[in-house]
Structure 1
């Protein structure tokens, strides 16, 4: 029941009296303000009593002076607190009611004031109550103890098609006999969740008795459409299924999952979390994340960090059972930007660390075994073009494998055709720079006027015809890799000075440029010339020689490693058979002749001879008779080229052209000498050699 307090109707602007005032003064106040009573207060504002017109009449009847102070005439039993109920105050016989808050005077009310305020208050409450009842979606009907309808909300009006005015005061059983509200009045018991058919629609009805002072004064029924309940039930079922699915997903995760609300209170965990941390999930739900730290379940709370930083955080944790974990916490924000969930993923990396250690051990063993294999000369990665059988070549390859691991400048010397370029390539492919570029430059094959710009590059405007964007030189192209300067003995003296500066400072300056560029390339050099003799004759700078010759590597000529000849012959025959789709073989007699020959052109001479024999000889078995005269054969080298069958004329011309160029490269030291002997431009020699893959280093 709603209770009205005195404070709800206080005006807080009353007329007050003091004990020192005379009866005459008070009478004037009553007349001026049209009141017949007022409270009397002391100097502290506390009420001490009430003075009314009746006290004035009493004073006159006793013949007392109107100058008498009112202190002795005050009614003192009038203290009513503002927290008192209006109904209780109205039961008093007095017509005026001073109100206090504590001991202090607050207001003054009459019975009429109180009755009017009480009536207005209850009208407001009644209106509010009606508004609430009518705003409810469910149907509400109430009756008094005789079964007459008192409440019939708008939802009921809409459904039944009757207004409150039409049904109010009528017997419920006459209008709606199957509702059964009278049974509730008679039994006084609550009847919940009954299914009832009304206007061809099913409702769930809940009925309650209305009691006042332990007496049943009526009953109320609340109707809810069954279809709405079914919809809600379906939604609840869907939510339940989603929850089960969500739980199944969480539990199936191999990583531990730990979910808290925005205050760090544990909401969910999964079995993986229990496995990783050794904690019982049932003991964690509803507890604060800091409890896990205090109990030593984990060494540090990623959830706490997420709540502080409001962003994703990843840390390393150690659990109470000794596991090392990688914990990642992710904040989930609501529509107002507040963190309302923190989802933590816990991954056990203990086994990962063990696997990492085992991998490091395996990698160490692999490197160890590779070094052992290299030292034994069994396999050389990147040296598939190399044939190594002789003791000298095995020793050389062992040295190459060791030098490949360092970054020293190396000078590779040896006669023409011994395979200096292959040695340089093997050094690169077995070095830490193997993923970088391997740039080969034949210093004798590039015209002298172009060599500087080819090596160092140039800027726009450096010379007539220079590209607008400039051009990077070989040193820049070799960044991160290896630069092999073959035929270094043919480098002009003016460029030798610049090369020395590059080796000392590891910087270059483009032609026409000013800004030095840092280079990061390993420098290898090769030559078939005697650089010491060239130094003595002032044809090669001594300081450059010693700068290049940090680690000398000499490739022995073929005559000093004849044990390699049978394997080389087999290799070349197989290579050219595949290239020309033939099936040629070499007789043992030819191998013996090869072993007795000195091979001034070295491996390159042997390769060229094998190709010539495979292409020219009409028979599949190559014998002594097929060899040139200098090797004991019967076919003069001056005889016309013979072929084993018809071939396109263009191919035949190219074959002869290639042989002529190979001979020129074998007999001449520089491109300029070759051009003079063959009566063509030096640029033609360079272009044709590039076309056929001819190089003095091979």
Structure 2
């Protein structure tokens, strides 16, 4: 038998610190020692078990088999105290004699609980919508979940077991939050670039053991590429709202701007635009002011595959030169004195994926022509004060009423930029050279403004005939403005020739005069009338015309007398 007076202190020190239940029996199969874990398992008090046969507490105990046979029994399962347990039984020897046996009991229900918890935790990690990345205290990857694989495009097989420093040097990410947490021993969040193409926000959380030593780092990863795109779209929307009423930039054309023509010249232009519009080719529209270059730019955009994308129109001649660069290219926060603290998106970047009309392109300073050329060549843009180029996909439609080739010869326009802009050059003739379009345009704008202002008016055929014969120096713009003026200012429901402005009557008389003397007379009356309207004084008008005041008075008196 075990001498309890000697053995209890020795065995007590050993078994009291064990988490598993431990029971020691003597050679008579009576309980000699039991730790607190076993007492809890069997639900007995501290003194109730001493010297008791083990079968009294565990009726189906098999300790006697170990005592009789002298061989260990490992891994047997049995129910003790209503719990499924695994029992390891080993005989005890003293001085070569078998003096008892020891049973180490592990509560399997506790293990099942931990396994269930572990499985639940693994499921939570695996099915989290955030990417999760776990490294140990040496910076070696332990685990990644499916969300991380989907966000980054990396497979866990490429990462697990790899050091973060090595993965970073191989270009998997530009910086490692895990290494920063290992260094600083605190929670850290950073923006990380994955594979050089996707932005994610990563937060590294240190995990400490009971002694306060760093054990591992759990990093959560969230894809913010879509958020960045939404932010960019929001920034564009805010910029659109700011420039909607801007005096030099429009988002879209006016509703009355349609292609109205009957002449073969504009039919040819229309066919040319229909041919090239579907392609991203740069187009240069050339023609006098007011011929409808903006309308043609609208048509180009509407016939392209960019029709649902932004269409930004920029009048380069209306933007002050000192502001033109920041308006076109945008700027970063603090780029210059007075710059917005949030920076500003440029008009070119605002039109990404869409079309930009650069009206009055000849007015761009040479210094900005170089930058615009670089944008067209490299298909990327860099804001003022910025260091990061941004990809840019825009279609350029330039327009001018000046001869760019002549400006090139005079050193006022870059030849290389001209060839970039004028891949396709389309010339729009003045209205005087396509008189077949005058009446259709008259009818179009007349009906448009009648509907617009809810006015029911008509225009006399004689009035149309006079307007058809007018030379229209202001082209379609002058025609449109004249029609709107007559509809809102003429009180009569029928617009007669008498309602037409004086200069149109004078021009009509000159055109219908049969002799040179009559044409000179009509031209003279027109010049004097314009001078009087402009200066409002006989003396100033005479000085402008280069004639004596008395001569002017005599002419007016003679005309008043019908001579």
Of structures 1 and 2, the one with the larger relative CO (CA 8 A, separation 6+) is 2
TM-score tier, shorter chain, comes to 0.3 to 0.5
Calculate the TM-score normalised by the size of structure 1: 0.35
Calculate the TM-score normalised by the size of structure 2: 0.44
Rg (Cα) greater in structure:
1
